[in-house]
Amino acid sequence: MARTYEVRTFGCQMNVHDSERLTGLLEEAGYVAAPANAQADVVVFNTCAVRENADNKLYGNLGHLAPVKARTPGMQIAVGGCLAQKDRGEITRKAPWVDVVFGTHNIGSLPALLERARVNDEAQVEILESLEVFPSTLPTRRESAYAAWVSVSVGCNNTCTFCIVPALRGKEKDRRPGDVLAEVRALVAEGVSEVTLLGQNVNAYGVEFGDRQAFSKLLRACGEVEGLERVRFTSPHPAEFTDDVIVAMAETPNVMPQLHMPLQSGSDRVLKAMRRSYRREKYLGIIDRVRAAIPDAAITTDIIVGFPGETEEDFVQTLQVVAAARFSGAFTFQYSIRPGTPAATLPDQVPADVVQDRYERLVELVNDIAWEENKSLVGTTVELMVAEGEGRKDAATHRLSGRGPDNRLVHFDPTPFGDRAAARDERRVEIRPGDMVTVEITRAAPHHLVADGGVLAVRRTRSGDAWEARTAAPSAPVVGLGMPAVGAPA
Ligand code: SF4
């Protein structure tokens, strides 16, 4: 009987990307995914060291699994990701029922470490200080049939004082453009029509091989890939956001009018304390140039409130930048001390009630602006890539959901446009996740749009075919770059 596995992922897109490799590695080693709600033989935690008091979350989960493991012969638990890279042997000291601890630089070692722990009946802790192989070259099982993450670099050369990433993911390492494009073409050949280029500092791409324009060249090269409908990227750093990238975005049709650019704070004094190498004027200048070149661009951001030393005046400056930038959305965080970061020992930690108050005022402003921006789209038509899963339902309408070119989420009525009879008896147009539908926006909410008039047009795509094929044959082969698919002809 094949052993079953479950991978639990915490944190950022880079971890989602790496978890697709962990599942690919396990399936290539003969494991199969555990059925939903069934206890897996192997449970893998791909951890985060930043978000949501990550430590408590991990040790809490491990605590719950201890009695399960005690009564399940042969069960194994593995911990990887940023918290493993940070805590190392501390994890098996605190949770001696853990079998394997591996780091961010050696995710490829998981199957071998599980086997060694089983044979030697002894916990295996293996943490490397630098990257073993680019995770992108490892076998992968992608979550989506029509969209994919493509890592262009790992690590980061910046030293933001609140961030632990450089300590855990190391200095920036760039993949060769040819390798990135080969992966993109291979994905499109499998039916993928949307790729998101991924890097801690995606627009610094090329710094390792000395080409400051490598990222804009990569965007343009993605524009040449036949069948690739949508290109997105995350996360750029304002300090490295150069005009050649804006021009490449504007001139390359399949690069989507959407930009996620972390601001973190609107106060130059706080940006200096965060060691963010840009100031508010430069940040707003980039926003203006992006909007001039791409008028319909949706811009989102990350903001931290309550950074040590932040005054009311600093916070007001953040609100001013938010008001000027008119973000379509923002990930907002209350500053919390992250052990091992320079900011953790800074004086003037802001009291929790003050942080909470500022957080609520910021979220209110962000939501008001996002809603106003969404309201301005009512009456426009948009082509959506249909997403997996049902959309927002209410008594009257069973909706599906999809994303527009600007990545806004739209819940839409899947009946033929204007066909009230069909709407009454819920006759839907024949669409699949990955297909494209054109709809008219009829209503706006702060975090999504609604199209209740029905579907104006349907474009069935190769991604829809890929989704259908995958749904029909869930045990689709594991695909690795440059390696024959398991079970597929070499
Ligand atoms: S740019 Fe700053 S916040 Fe982003 S990963 Fe690098 S150090 Fe962390």
Residue whose C-alpha is closest to residue 215's, from 185, 258, 253, 252: 252
Residue 388 has pLDDT above 50, yes or no: yes
Predicted confidence band of residue 478 (pLDDT cuts 50, 70, 90): very low
Q: Which residue's CA is the nearest one to ligand 1's atom 8?
A: 163
pLDDT of residue 472: 83
In the reported structure, the alpha carbon of residue 277 is separated from the centroid of ligand 1 by a whole-number distance in angstroms of 11
Domains identified in the chain and CATH numbers:
4-126 (3.40.50.12160), 142-256 (3.30.750.210), 281-376 (3.30.750.200), 381-480 (2.40.50)
Helix (H) or strand (E) holding 140: none
Please give the number of the atom of ligand 1 that sits closest to the Cα of 157.
6
> Which residues does a 6 A CB cutoff place in the pocket of ligand 1?
156, 158, 160, 163, 165-166, 200-201, 237
pLDDT of residue 337: 83
In the reported structure, the alpha carbon of residue 160 is separated from the centroid of ligand 1 by a whole-number distance in angstroms of 6
Helix (H) or strand (E) holding 326: none
Predicted confidence band of residue 476 (pLDDT cuts 50, 70, 90): very low
Distance CA 13, CA 312 (A): 32
pLDDT digits (tens, 9 = 90+) for 83-139: 999 999 999 999 999 999 999 999 999 999 999 999 999 999 999 998 888 888 899
Q: Which residue's CA is the nearest one to ligand 1's atom 1?
A: 158
pLDDT digits (tens, 9 = 90+) for 29-48: 999 999 988 999 999 999 99
In the reported structure, the alpha carbon of residue 161 is separated from the centroid of ligand 1 by a whole-number distance in angstroms of 9
Asked if 420 and 264 count as a contact pair (C-beta separation under 8 A), the reply is: no
Q: Is 222 annotated as a binding residue?
A: no
In the reported structure, the alpha carbon of residue 201 is separated from the centroid of ligand 1 by a whole-number distance in angstroms of 7
- Map tokens 């938010």 to a residue: 322
What does the DSSP 8-state code read for residue 428? P
pLDDT of residue 336: 85
Distance CA 360, CA 17 (A): 32
pLDDT digits (tens, 9 = 90+) for 370-386: 999 999 999 999 999 99
Asked if 406 and 296 count as a contact pair (C-beta separation under 8 A), the reply is: yes
Residue 390 has pLDDT above 70, yes or no: no
Q: Which residue's CA is the nearest one to ligand 1's atom 2?
A: 160
Tokens of 116: 């060694």
In the reported structure, the alpha carbon of residue 203 is separated from the centroid of ligand 1 by a whole-number distance in angstroms of 12
In the reported structure, the alpha carbon of residue 326 is separated from the centroid of ligand 1 by a whole-number distance in angstroms of 23
**Strand ranges in 317-429 using DSSP code E only, listed in sequence order:** 329-334, 381-390, 400-403, 409-412
Residue to probe by mutation, ligand 1, list 86, 153, 163, most atoms within 8 Å of CB: 163
Kindly report which listed range (91-105, 143-157, 414-428, 438-452) carries the lowest average pLDDT score: 414-428
Residue whose C-alpha is closest to residue 329's, from 415, 263, 268: 263
In the reported structure, the alpha carbon of residue 200 is separated from the centroid of ligand 1 by a whole-number distance in angstroms of 7
Please give the number of the atom of ligand 1 that sits closest to the Cα of 163.
8
Residue 394 has pLDDT above 80, yes or no: no
Please give the number of the atom of ligand 1 that sits closest to the Cα of 164.
8
Residue to probe by mutation, ligand 1, list 15, 165, 202, 304, most atoms within 8 Å of CB: 165
Residue 391 has pLDDT above 90, yes or no: no
Residue to probe by mutation, ligand 1, list 160, 234, 235, 271, most atoms within 8 Å of CB: 160
In the reported structure, the alpha carbon of residue 223 is separated from the centroid of ligand 1 by a whole-number distance in angstroms of 28
Asked if 79 and 54 count as a contact pair (C-beta separation under 8 A), the reply is: no
Give per-residue burial for 103-117: e unless 16+ CB within 10 Å, then b: bbbbbbbbbbbbebb
What does the DSSP 8-state code read for residue 392? -
Distance CA 166, CA 159 (A): 7
pLDDT digits (tens, 9 = 90+) for 304-357: 999 999 999 999 999 999 999 999 999 999 998 887 889 989 999 999 999 999
Q: Count of CB atoms within 10 A of residue 459's CB? A: 13
pLDDT of residue 396: 57
Distance CA 131, CA 129 (A): 7
Residue to probe by mutation, ligand 1, list 51, 162, 200, 205, most atoms within 8 Å of CB: 200
